[in-house]
Structures are given as structure tokens and as C-alpha cells.
Amino acid sequence: MAEYPETLKRLISELASLPGVGQKTAERYAFFIVYEDREAGKRISSAIEEMLSKIVVCSRCNNLTESDPCWLCAD
């Protein structure tokens, strides 16, 4: 990897760990956030944080939901 600041290297590394995202694509995503649309980066970060805090797996059907049991199993 080129000599980038440590924080940028970390972001690229984390993006590259996603399925289907290679090193070059991860760099493109990171550079887009840094150069073109920092607000998009903030929105993405916020959406990930919210999803991680709210989404659970239904204990009955393993569906992704915000409540356990999910709306379908609760019906």
C-alpha cells in the first residue's frame, strides 16, 4: 500500500475486508469520502452505528429485526 496516513490506511484496510471489495476499490471509496463527499462518510458511519445498535436476530426465525421476536413471529 502506498504511504498514506495511518488513519487512511486503516479505513482502506477495513473497506478492503468487505466481501467483493478489493484493495483498489477500497482506495477509491476512501478517496471519494476524503476528497469528494465527507458528509457521505458521516452518513455512512452513522447508518452503520445505528444498524449495529438496533438490529438483532429474531430468536425464533433468525430474521434480522429491530425487536425480538420479529414482527412476523409476534403476529
Closest CA to 54 of 41, 38, 42, 66: 66
User: pLDDT digit string (tens) for 19-68?
Assistant: 999 999 999 999 999 999 899 999 999 999 999 999 999 999 999 999 99
Confidence grade of residue 75 (pLDDT, cut at 50, 70, 90): confident
DSSP per-residue string spanning the chain: -----HHHHHHHHHHHTSTT--HHHHHHHHHIIIII-HHHHHHHHHHHHHHHHH-EE-TTT--EESSSS-HHHH-
Q: Is the pLDDT of residue 1 over 70?
A: no
pTM: 0.76
